[in-house]
Amino acid sequence: MEPEGEQGGDPQPYPRPRTLPQGKERPSPGEEREGPVEGRETRLRVVLRVRPLTCTETRRGDQQVVHSLGDGAVHVSAARHDATFGFSAVFDAGASQESVFEGSGMRQLVELAIDGFSCTVFAFGQTGSGKTYTLMGPLAQSSTHPASPALLGLMQRSFTCLLEQSRSRGSDLALSASYLEIYNEQIRDLLSPGPACALPLRWSKTRGFYVENQLSVEFESLEAIVSLLLQGSQRRRTSAHALNRHSSRSHALLTIHVRSRAAGACPGKQGTLCFVDLAGSERVKETGSSGELSVEANSINRSLLALGHCISLLAKPRGRRTHIPYRDSKLTRLLARSLGGSGITLMVACISPSSRCLSETLSTLHYASRARRVTTRPLANRVSQTGNPSEPLFSPSGTPLTHPFIHRPSQVSREKLLQTLEQEIHALQLENLSLRQQLCLPRVPVRGTEVAGNPPKAWAGSGDGHGPAGQLPPEGTPAWPSLYGLLRDFVVENEQMRYRRLVWDP
């Protein structure tokens, strides 16, 4: 039987993205085979971890329905279910924390963050499937009872690797950390002392979505960053339910900012390494959640649904993609760059092998297989002498406007970005039309002149005043403000209608 995802493990997890030589826009076929070039499409790397059966599951006599076949393939066999899935790597119940670190490509991800890339690793899966364990090791860990070194998770191993690299480079790296959680759709700073308060999530052309007033704490040693991690994790919302005695009730994002100073002709770099511990999906009936727990579960499931929806749309070939609704949840806003932008992303799908978890396990496996088709275009953040790039990098709907030439603005880059904007406007326009019909709202009159400045030719001559794009505006046309204004209007309209639909039909 053919596996659902792509078969086979990757021998070399992340071939280092290379920067195109000046003046060269296409790599030769030989170069392409060596690995992704900076700015070229790179697939998300998805690995699978199957945790061992817990004592409760063994005592209950649960059957083991997940079996690793080797070479990145896993087989699920149960009554009426028989399926094989392929991933970049599969770690079965016997896999050590170290083998997960080495085999997942985490070490390479750390190196890429040092090279200025925005790297993200996120763990997802049903509640109690081992996400927190994979990222942080056993929860019993504390400063007074440190976990055995063999049990340390991806986070602590990455910190060690980062600090070793920093020392070997003569400490020219400046490291800092920020840590936040999304709890019931509110963002809270886990490093900020005092009572938890909600932080605003903003959007800017150059930064995309970002959290305002988030604390960033500098560190130089392993002890310092581990202590920040523990402080933050103790503030994170956890509760006990039928499937997990320490269930995380929020999505947590720990971001390590890595800055290297410019040296001679080499520009400085600003990379990030973000660890995302998603709260687990759960069926309220199985976890026995009620009251506050069930409100939390609804919020978790809703944001995971939004994430799944974005992933499904992103998994389509670029030409067939519609508008990606990053704005549907705070989680998808914050992950926009990692999923559809210029980042490099590793997903660790976690599952239980128990027959009782079969339907959630299959759902995670399908979700993870789909994610393997998502691509990003890795770009290193170089610190230019003038500061931020002058061109907008994110559209108002949150879509990262990445392209291979962002650091060398040219006519090609301008055209590519305009095309992306135009495609997005067109997709939004269609979605808004359908939302209007669903809400029984009248069609809006033509709004071709609503935007300040001359509408670009492509829009002015398109019949209804809004597109789709026929041709690019000629050089010198004030296309950015017009397209941006138009897109912003469509996004606002889209959000208002989505909200209305939610209120009317939750």
Pick out the residues of the known binding site for ATP.
125-132
Site string for ligand ATP, 12-51 (x = CB under 6 A): ---------------------------------------x
Rg (CA), the chain: 23
Alpha-carbon span 354 to 59, nearest angstrom: 12
Q: Restricting to residues 274-303, which ones interact with ligand ATP according to CB under 6 A?
A: 279-280
* x/- track of binding to ligand ATP for residues 300-339 (CB under 6 A): ----------------------------------------
**Binding residues for ligand ATP, total number by CB under 6 A:** 19
Work out whether 132 is an interface residue with ligand ATP (CB under 6 A): yes
Candidates 3-11, 77-85, 244-252, 442-450; binding stretch for ligand ATP (CB under 6 A) = 244-252
Side chain identity, residue 97: Q
Does position 92 interact with ligand ATP (CB under 6 A)? The reply is no
- 92 CB-contact burial (10 Å; exposed 0-12 / middle 13-18 / buried 19+): middle
Q: Which is nearer to ligand ATP, 166 or 299 (CB)?
A: 299
Cβ atoms within 10 Å of 173's Cβ, excluding its own: 20
Q: Cβ 195 to ligand ATP, closest distance in Å?
A: 23
Task: Determine, following the binding rule CB under 6 A, whether residue 363 of this chain makes contact with ligand ATP.
Answer: no
* 218 exposure class (CB count in 10 Å sphere: 0-12, 13-18, 19+): exposed
280 in Cβ contact with 127 (< 8 Å): yes
Tell me the sheet residues that pair with 86.
Answer: 73
Q: Which member of 16, 18, 107, 246 binds ligand ATP (CB under 6 A)?
A: 246
In this chain, which of 138, 268, 453, 465 binds ligand ATP, going by CB under 6 A?
A: 138
Q: Can you tell me which of 229, 254, 350, 362 binds ligand ATP, judged by CB under 6 A?
A: 350
Query: What are the C-alpha distances in Å from 169 to residues 172, 173, 459?
Result: 6, 8, 52
Count the Cβ atoms, other than its own, within 10 Å of residue 388: 13
Q: 52, exposed or middle or buried, with CB in 10 Å at 0-12, 13-18, 19+?
A: middle
CB of 322 to ligand ATP, least distance (A): 30
Q: Is 122 in the site for ligand ATP (CB under 6 A)?
A: no
The residues of the shown chain that bind ligand ATP, judged by CB under 6 A, are 51-52, 54, 125, 127-133, 138, 244, 246-248, 279-280, 350
